[in-house]
Amino acid sequence: MSEVLNVEELFGSKVFTLGKMKERLPRSVYKEVKCVMDKGGELPLATADVVAKAMKDWAVENGATHYTHWFQPLTGITAEKHDAFVTHPDDEGHMLMEFSGKELIKGEPDASSFPSGGLRATFEARGYTAWDMTSPAFLKEDATGVILCIPTAFCSYKGEALDKKTPLLRSMEAISAQALRIVRLFGNKEATKVAASVGAEQEYFLVDREKYLQRTDLIFAGRTLFGAAAPKGQELEDHYFGTIRERVGAYMKDLNIELWKLGVTARTQHNEVAPAQHELAPIYESANIAVDHNQLVMETMKKVAGRHGLACLLHEKPFAGVNGSGKHNNWSLGTDNGVNMLDPGDTPNENIQFLLVLACILKAVDTHAELLRQSASDVGNDHRLGANEAPPAIISVFLGEQLEDVVKQLVETGEAARCLDGGKLQTGVSTLPDLDKDATDRNRTSPFAFTGNKFEFRMVGSSDSIASPNTALNAIVAEAFCEAADELEKAEDFDIAVHDLIKKYMTEHQRIIFNGDGYSEEWVHEAERRGLPNIKSMIEAAGTLTTDKTVKLFEKFGIFTKVELESREEIIYETYAKTINIEALTMVAMAGRQYIPAVIKYSKSLADSVIALKSAGAEAHVQAELLNAVSAKLAASKDALTRLEKAVAEAGTIHNAKEQAFFYKDTVRAVMDELRAPIDELEMIVDKEMWPVPSYADLTFEV
């Protein structure tokens, strides 16, 4: 019998939850904290001191020695600098562990080594971290010991955002304010806040750690840069939802336990489409916490893998020829009095509100399709989007048959009197229909699909932070809500006005709706006819950040300034160039020091055998033919290697970040492909015993 897990007790045991605050803080202090959490504002220093002491006592009781302001710089991952609770000893040499309110609220890490895209001049190296009270503090335990992690936002001296969290928090305020205006129009007077809720399904690969360590490309680039396809891939579709192997099962169990302790509601786990690919999905929560938790999920996945002799690959495309990994970002809006604004609801009135919300979202997504596409781009995702497996690079919205039909009727006749499933409509007070929840429709090829009471944004890459996509979603929908509310608040006859507005938005933006096969070639042409953007790469999408339309959107709600956006665009070019540079150098090293020497050894053994056979008077034409084939591919490899070295050197001479990034994309990457091709062919003919690294089959079928 296995040990019985007390999940209820385990859950959140490493989190300084609201419950723990309530237990440990004086009533008045707790109330003050709760008030700032709910309504915003700042904690007075005296109050912060009390909170800090309680937090430190709890942390120390649980073994903590250090604290850190945990933040999310523009590297896409998290950063931390540890400080011990240690203070100056007294005369007798006694030391008391201390932690002040000031230390809790504000930190001053040196910002000069984080990407800032020119925002922070080198002489102004200071950056500030400020406690994000809406996300709870937690304990991280590893070889370093136990560390109290305080989620924070990271800004420059002048208050410019240097991280992914600050704009997200700003966008959550914007969507809350504008969504409230919408629910007010429909008579909801109780709600005081609307929260964007997010549930991020996380895909990942697991490979054997020993084998992983033999592949420099996995270590440095997170993906294989060479590798012939395994004889078996995903064609039999036997891995998806398949029985979970023992070793992977033990990993998943351990991962769940670690996540539960951190208050992450890991809920669903299954094998994914590609061999060695899996998925974990948590229960949704407020966008801000979901972003933090997704970072913890990724970190914990990697950490726990090590304990099981495994390596967790979060790259969007670790293996060519089989599916890559993404993150389905499920997004919805909930009022604090329990209404999901994306739920069609049970009464006609709720239906009308839902149809208005839907119309606004269609408008938002159509108006800002480029921005949404941009928000889901990272270097690895360039291998997925538009590459016949992940959602295409073209943004479109999937509504399902029933809803699409309702939109069609509204657009054509201004009324939607019937419902596709034949059910009787409760049209009630207006010409708008009563809708069923349509949770069953599934279209896996759509990048932005309505799934019952939420939208599922499926473009996001598996290794990327989900902060940017959610910041973009919140912002574009806030803008559409704002414009709708501006109209409707001054309308004389609300019923007519809302009806007309829904019809208008749906008519103007129906081109964004697409229920067909998003992977098909026809869709690419159809989308072009409709005038929908098809942005193929991360760096082609980057310019969207600084178009007038985007700047106006973000400045309107105080989410980004123009300067902040310019700096982010710059960082994208830099990140792209650096990443491809690392990949290219890794290829140069692997080809020059592993593959080419191995092939030379193999051709020597062939040549020896030709000579031996001939001198023995035997036929050697098989060996001779093989030798010729190997030599030809070896020559092609060496030639491509030389060209790659030259291309990388040339890239280094380009000083404009954007130009350099495009050079890496258009020139360096092409040569990388040219080097990969002959080496992958060689892998299929060279003696496996002599091949210097584990193959795709070794990596993906022997976990």
C-alpha 684, offset from chain centre? 35
Q: Show the 3-state SS of 284-347.
A: CEEHHHHHHHHHHHHHHHHHHHHHCCEEEECCCCCCCCCCCCEEEEEEEEEECCCCECCCCCCC
Smallest gap from Cβ 488 to ligand ADP, in A, equals 24
| Residue 668 contacts residue 644 (beta carbons within 8 Å) | yes
282 binds ligand ADP (CB under 6 A): yes
- 29 vs 196, beta carbon nearer ligand ADP: 196
Q: Report the SS3 class of residue 43.
A: coil
Cα separation, 215 vs 598, whole angstroms: 15
328 binds Mg ion (CB under 5 A): yes
340 binds ligand ADP (CB under 6 A): yes
437 binds ligand ADP (CB under 6 A): no
Question: Contact with ligand ADP (CB under 6 A): which of 295, 300, 374, 453?
Answer: 453
Cα separation, 448 vs 104, whole angstroms: 39
Query: Can you list the alpha helix ranges (DSSP code H) found in 376-441?
Result: 401-413
Smallest gap from Cβ 281 to Mg ion, in A, equals 7
- 120 vs 293, beta carbon nearer Mg ion: 293
329 binds ligand ADP (CB under 6 A): no
Smallest gap from Cβ 340 to Mg ion, in A, equals 17
Q: Show the 3-state SS of 45-106.
A: HHHHHHHHHHHHHHHHHCCEEEEEEEECECCCCCECCEEECCCCCCCCCCCCCCCCHHHHHE
String marking each residue 184-223 x if it binds ligand ADP according to CB under 6 A: -------------xxx-x----------------------
Which of 573, 551, 550, 572 has its CA nearest to residue 562?
A: 551
Question: Contact with ligand ADP (CB under 6 A): which of 135, 330, 396, 409?
Answer: 330
First to last CA, the chain: 25
- 215 vs 328, beta carbon nearer Mg ion: 328
354 binds ligand ADP (CB under 6 A): no
Smallest gap from Cβ 298 to ligand ADP, in A, equals 15
> Among ligand ADP, Mg ion, none, what does residue 453 contact (CB within 5–8 Å per kind)?
ligand ADP
Stretch that binds ligand ADP, among 235-243, 329-337, 360-368, 654-662 (CB under 6 A): 329-337
454 binds Mg ion (CB under 5 A): no
Query: Residue 361 is encoded by which pair of tokens?
Result: 């979202």
> Among ligand ADP, Mg ion, none, what does residue 581 contact (CB within 5–8 Å per kind)?
none
- 328 vs 368, beta carbon nearer ligand ADP: 328
* Bridge partners of residue 150, in order along the sequence: 69
583 sits in which H/E element: helix 562-590
- 170 vs 328, beta carbon nearer ligand ADP: 328
Query: Residue 531 is encoded by which pair of tokens?
Result: 């005038």
454 binds ligand ADP (CB under 6 A): yes
| CB-based closest residue to ligand ADP | 199
256 binds ligand ADP (CB under 6 A): no
Query: Can you list the alpha helix ranges (DSSP code H) found in 74-185?
Result: 101-105, 165-185
Contacting positions for ligand ADP (CB under 6 A): 197-199, 201, 268, 281-284, 328, 330-332, 340, 453-454, 456
Residues lying near Mg ion in the complex (CB under 5 A): 328
